[in-house]
Structures are given as C-alpha cells and as structure tokens.
C-alpha cells in the first residue's frame, strides 16, 4: 500500500534494533535501537525503539509488513549428537550453525548416562540427532534415541541420521513422549553434506515452537511473525548480496565478519573450490553458505579470548602504545563491560583488538593448506574453503562499524605471507554495513528479493 513503510526488527540479545524502509523508493527511512526487554515484556523494548524512530521522523509512521528475527533469550541454543566426531557430529554442527544456532555442546558415539544428564542440564532449545550414513551404522543412533527417549529432555528432537534407522528412531522417541521430527540424513554419504532439509525443519520449529517457548510470542501482536534467528537473516543477506537475483547481479562471493561483545561470527557465501589443481581437497566439504561462531572471541565478555589469541604484546605493538596502557584499558573493559573508547589512544586499542579478533576468526573460518611430504615430493591438501580469489569482504558489528579505521580492521581478514597456509582473500574490496541493516536485508529478501538486493548494495559503505 502506498505511503506505508516496511519495518524490520531484530530482537537481539542486548538491543532490539529496528530499520524502516520505503520499498517503493528503495530507501532506508531510519534506524533505532533500545535495550531488549525479554525478562519483562518483549514489546517494551520494541515500543521504545519505535518511539525513538518516530521522534526522528517527526511522527510514528504507518507500517505495512513488519518482519522480525531474534537472538534474544539466548538465541537458538542447540545440542548436536553424531556418531564419529569428524563425520556426522561435524556435519550436524555445520547444519546447526548454518541454521543460526548457538551450538552449546557436540556429542559423539553412544551417549552415556552422564552425558544425558548434561543435556538435561543444558536445556537446549532443540536437539539434532544424527549418526550413520544412509545404509551405514544404525546401532548407535538407535541407542542414542533410546537414551533420549527415557531422559527428562523436553526439547524438540530433530532426527537426521541413517534413513534405514529413521522409523525406529521416530517410534522410540515418540513412545518416550518426545517431540520428534524426522528429516533427511545430514550426511547421506561420506563427504556429502546435506544441510538444506535439516535447516528447513529447524527454521519451522523455530517459528512454531521456540519463539513461544522463549516468551517472544507477544511480539507477534505487533510484528507479523518472528521469522528466523538473527544469524540466519544475516546469512540470507550475505547469500543474496553474493549471488544476486535473476535480474540483478550480486557482488560476487562474500566473506562477512560480525564482531560482537561475546562472540565473533564469520559468514561466507562461496563455493571455496581450490584455486589450483595441485590442491587435493580433504575432509568434509563446506556448504556454500557457511557460518562459524567463535565463542571465545568478542570485544567485551570474551576479551580474554582475543588477548590470548592475538597476544598482548602484539596487540600493543599493533596500536603503537605501551604495554601498560593496553593492559590498563583491557582491565577497564573487564571491570565495566559498557566501556566505550573515549580517547584516540583507546580508539587505537579497540582497533587493534578488533584486528586480532578478525584475524583469529577468519583464520578459523577459511580453509587451510597443509604441505605433505611424500616419497614422490611435496603434495598440498586443502581442508575447508579456499577463499583466495574471493572479491568482497563485509564488516559489521560495533567494533567495525564504529571504528575510526574500519578498513585496517577488515584487512586482517586477508591472506598474509606470515600465515601462508590460511586461504583467505588476497585482494578483496572492503565494505562496511554502516547502518547495521544486514539482518534487515535478509528479512526483506523473504518478501522482495530484488529490492532487498538493491537496498543492501546501496547502503553498504565502501572503505
């Protein structure tokens, strides 16, 4: 309808962020945020954000479509269960991460009583149960289903293992009074990752059950529906920006880094095929849309992890300050997580910390080469995605968006001679999500992909 704006809402773990768009004009009207109020009433934070935006615009506008995603109340917390750690357990974890989940714990082989106790204590939102390729092992997944069936676990269980065991797994869990959904095997064959079906199921469970279970349902009095976890919205946006649509070209393959206070997420929309025929791929393939989460890398809660990974001396060198000054600022952050940098020196330390975060998180996300010396000479193997030729790096999250030197921070996502085995982009262009709207682009893509693409490209700032 003419004159109506489209609203995108992210019920984040800390802030409820909103962005209003005029889809006709393909423009961003405004953004606002207010602390998320999940403990009392989720609507309070949203209403406050809407009021702030209303003030900016002079009056509270009429909204047509109201789309939302959420990572509030702990996000989508999942436990994955597989058979062999490097095979189905790894495949299940990749599928869960790609569905926007926070994977709290990964189990493999047969679950024992204390592990069941652990799952009960974790109280995950969803359990992903896998094991066995199609036609492969059935014994372990059946055993694990039986263990879960007689446990006190109440979370929905998604069974995505050996199809030959699926019926029995379903019946066992159903008899145990569990909420179970069976879907296609996440690893139907060795080396084959089949994440789409599992992710579809996870997404509909999120919409139908998790939103309600987390007390977010009241938000749906105002927004049309909480459609997906926030990381999924961002991953959707990255995929759209990379691939474009039938009528509009994208930016080519994309690597995106989101540095948060507690975690750093890295997303790639890339095939990751080896750039040289001399690289022999090994291990489980990665999906085109890949997300990794570094739980130990964050600018506030997880600052210790950054310091440990980057090294305090190297961080001090990087910002050109005395070690004591850097240590003092980090101590200040740890004392007050709401610390914001006030001086040029503190801005410099923040940038150096962000650089270390980007370096560590992208190194863990990107594929790596290993030199193997054989009697026939040197052979190179590739594990994961080769991102060498990837043309586009996007940064988001306060530590990049608010940085005085975003390009310097993002350059740490690139290949460097000192770490030749990490296949990161060699000569990408750099963009910043300066309005913090990647989540919104991912949400808009569900209703108007062409417009979402053009809006997404338009509001990225090249740095």
Pick the closer one to another protein by CB: 89 or 444.
89
Q: Which is nearer to another protein, 132 or 348 (CB)?
A: 132
Phi-psi region of 119 (alpha: psi -120 to 50; beta: other; left: phi over 0): alpha
Pairing relationship of beta strands 15-22 and 5-11 according to DSSP bridges? antiparallel
Report the residue number, 188 or 310, with the smaller CB distance to another protein: 188
Q: How far is the CB of 377 from another protein (least distance, A)?
A: 9
Main-chain phi, psi angles of 91, to 5 degrees: -60, -45
Through-space distance between the first and last CA atoms of the chain, rounded to whole angstroms: 36
User: Which residue ranges make up the site for another protein (CB under 8 A)?
Assistant: 83-84, 86-88, 131-133, 135-139, 187, 189-190, 280, 282, 372-376, 379, 381
| Least distance between another protein and beta carbon 189 (Å) | 7
**CA 363 from chain center: how many Å?**
16
Closer residue to another protein in complex, CB, 103/140:
140
What is the spatial distance between Cα 173 and Cα 154, in angstroms, rounded to a whole number? 11
CB closer to another protein, 131 vs 229 = 131
Burial class (CB in 10 A: 0-12, 13-18, 19+), 60: exposed
Q: Which is nearer to another protein, 282 or 419 (CB)?
A: 282
Q: Which helix or strand (DSSP H or E) is residue 445 part of?
A: none
How far, in Å, CA of 272 to CA of 389, rounded? 9
Contacts of 370 (CB under 8 A, 6+ apart): 380, 381, 383, 421
> What are the φ/ψ torsions at residue 211 (nearest 5 degrees)?
-55, -45
Least gap, CB of 187 to another protein (angstroms): 8
Q: How far is the CB of 272 from another protein (least distance, A)?
A: 18
Output the smallest distance, CB 92 to another protein, in A: 12
- Rounded to a whole number of angstroms, the minimum distance from the CB of residue 135 to another protein is 6
Note whether 91 and 187 are within 8 A (CB): yes
In the complex with another protein, the residue whose CB is nearer, 258 or 386, is: 386
* Smallest gap from residue 379 Cβ to another protein (A): 5
């Amino acid at each position: 309808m003419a004159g109506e704006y489209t609203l995108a809402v992210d019920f984040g773990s800390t802030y409820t962020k909103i962005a209003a768009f005029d889809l006709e004009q393909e423009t961003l009207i405004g953004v606002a945020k207010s602390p998320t109020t999940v403990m009392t009433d989720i609507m309070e934070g949203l209403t406050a954000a809407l009021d702030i935006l209303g003030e900016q615009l002079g009056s509270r506008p009429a909204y047509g479509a109201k789309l939302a995603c959420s990572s509030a109340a702990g996000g989508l917390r999942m436990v994955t269960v597989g058979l062999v750690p490097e095979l189905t357990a790894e495949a299940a974890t990749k599928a869960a991460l790609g569905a926007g989940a926070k994977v709290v714990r990964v189990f493999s082989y047969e679950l024992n009583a204390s592990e069941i106790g652990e799952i009960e204590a974790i109280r995950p939102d969803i359990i992903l149960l896998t094991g066995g390729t199609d036609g492969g092992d059935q014994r372990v997944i059946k055993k694990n289903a039986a263990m879960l069936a007689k446990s006190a676990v109440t979370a929905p269980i998604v069974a995505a293992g050996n199809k030959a065991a699926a019926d029995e797994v379903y019946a066992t869990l159903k008899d145990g009074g569990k909420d179970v959904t069976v879907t296609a095997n996440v690893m139907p064959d060795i080396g084959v990752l089949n994440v789409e079906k599992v992710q579809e199921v996870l997404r509909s469970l999120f919409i139908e059950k998790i939103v309600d279970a987390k007390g977010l349902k009241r938000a749906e009095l105002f927004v049309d529906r909480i459609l997906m976890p926030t990381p999924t919205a961002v991953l959707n946006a990255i995929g759209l920006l990379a691939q474009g649509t039938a009528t509009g070209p994208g930016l080519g393959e994309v690597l995106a880094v989101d540095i948060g206070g507690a975690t750093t997420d890295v997303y790639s929309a890339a095939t990751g095929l080896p750039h040289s025929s001399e690289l022999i791929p090994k291990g489980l393939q990665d999906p085109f849309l890949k997300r990794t989460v570094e739980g130990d890398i964050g600018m506030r809660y997880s600052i210790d992890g950054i310091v440990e990974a980057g090294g305090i001396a190297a961080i001090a060198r990087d910002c050109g300050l005395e070690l004591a000054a850097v240590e003092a600022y980090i101590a200040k952050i740890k004392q007050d997580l709401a610390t914001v940098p006030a001086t040029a020196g503190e801005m410099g330390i923040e940038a150096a910390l962000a650089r270390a975060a980007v370096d560590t998180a992208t190194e863990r996300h990107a594929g790596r080469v290993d030199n193997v010396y054989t009697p026939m000479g040197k052979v190179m193997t590739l594990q994961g995605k080769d991102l060498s030729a990837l043309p586009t790096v996007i940064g988001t999250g306060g530590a990049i968006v608010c940085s005085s030197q975003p390009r310097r921070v993002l350059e740490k996502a690139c290949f460097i001679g000192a770490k030749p085995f990490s296949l990161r982009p060699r000569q990408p262009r750099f963009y910043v999500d300066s309005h913090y709207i990647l989540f919104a682009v991912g949400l808009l893509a569900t209703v108007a992909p062409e417009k979402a693409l053009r809006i997404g490209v338009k509001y990225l700032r090249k740095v």
